[in-house]
Amino acid sequence: MRIVRSRDMGFCFGVRRAVDMMKEAATEGREVTTLGMVVHNPQVVQQLEKVGIYNNEHRTTEGVATDTVAITAHGVGEDMIDEIKREGHQVIDTTCQFVVRSQRAAKHLAEAGFTVIIFGDPEHPEVKGVMGWTKGRGIVVPSEDLEGLPPVLPSKVGVISQTTHTPERFARFVGNLMTARIDQITDLRVVNVLCNATTSQQAATRDLASEVDLMIVVGGHNSANTRHLAELSRANGVTTYHVETAAELEDAWFDGFETIGVTAGASTPDFSIDEVVRRIEAIGHIN
């Protein structure tokens, strides 16, 4: 078997920055509680817990016992920032720069009187956080077919996307919105807040999927951007498996395949990718 790694995969700038900020706090001897997972990768979270960086999975300050609170790369709503300050916690803000851009866009649109439509997963922490900047004027719509969109819209509508969506999906969403509701909308503003790093990884995955017989996508099962990479690969007609760790790989998956592609989401650390590659190499040697 031949293994080909994607030209662009693994930790993006925003994730690496968040993890580095947590590690720096740990070297200073500070104990920190993060409001949710720093990044959507359990292995990274486990590593940080060993050095005093604890995860509050409820993403609230309730029960927080540390002096320092960290805002994750996914960001939080404006009210949560005010709450952290009121309670007197020191703050480490690791919000990704693209998420910050999305938050600002949501806030500016809402202040200008627009209803803000967010194309994204309503349960994703990034989307929940961005909703917290819409001043109650936000609507989350999870799919391109506009399911969940109210039957009647205000005349002024602003549209943004979860930063990890593909450009193709966002374009389809906007096109469907225009086709279905152009009679209701007199002022439409579309703000592109898609993450450049994620878009680059998606393009690299698409290219690699066209060159290999089998794709392995490495990353947290709860990582949206990793799931999107697997979706892109499958859309290319390539047999694709999404794994979080090397232990999930099964020997039978590789029977009859010669060229194996490996890619990874933006929250996947290098050590996880390397472990998966070593395991594939071992399987190939055995076969």
Catalytic residue positions, numbered: 126
**Residue 200 φ/ψ region, left for φ over 0, alpha for ψ in the -120 to 50 degree band, beta for the rest:** alpha
- Please state, in angstroms and rounded to a whole number, the distance separating the CA atoms of residues 91 and 84: 8
Phi, psi of 9 (to 5 degrees): -160, 170
Contact 118, 141 (CB under 8 A): yes
Which one, of 106, 124, 123, lies nearest residue 115 by Cα? 106
User: Alpha carbon of 231 to those of 56, 216, 218: distances in Å?
Assistant: 30, 12, 13
Sheet holding 53-56, edge to edge: 53-56, 32-35, 68-71, 90-93
